[in-house]
Structures are given as structure tokens and as C-alpha cells.
Amino acid sequence: MDSSDSICANISEGYGRFHYKDSLKFYYNARGSLYEAQFWLNRLQKINLVSDVLYNELQ
């Protein structure tokens, strides 16, 4: 899932930035990707492509 990969990548890149404001941009992007990943997880559960057990584990 692209959005879940993007979360970790943005946090890592933000951590590697020298200036705080540069880091913040990547952390905000990571947060946006997190919301996107949550959206897709909810969508998959709604159309029964993810079991309730797995859904609850990932929440």
C-alpha cells in the first residue's frame, strides 16, 4: 500500500533534515498519509476484503 509506505518514508526523511521547519513538512505529509491509509483500511473492511479481526488489529 503506497500510503503506508509513505508514512515511514516521510518520517525518516523528516528526521534526516537539518532544520526543524523542513522536518515539519515531512511530518505533516506522514500524517496525511496515515489518514489515507486509515481511509483505505476502512474501505476494505466495508466491502469485506479485510476481516473484522484483521481490521481491529490494524486499528
Residue with cell 498519509: 33
pLDDT band at 1 (very low <50, low <70, confident <90, very high): low
Burial class from Cβ neighbours inside 10 Å (0-12, 13-18, 19+) for residue 18 reads exposed
Indicate if the alpha-carbon torsion angle 58, 40, 42, 26 is positive or negative. positive
| Average pLDDT of the chain to the nearest whole number | 94
Measured CA to CA, the distance from residue 52 to residue 11 in angstroms comes to 29
Residue corresponding to grid cell 481490521: 55
Q: Where are the domains of the chain?
A: 2-58
pTM given for the model: 0.82
Q: How does pLDDT run across 20-36, given as a tens digit for each residue?
A: 999 999 999 999 999 99
Mean pLDDT of the 28-46 span:
96
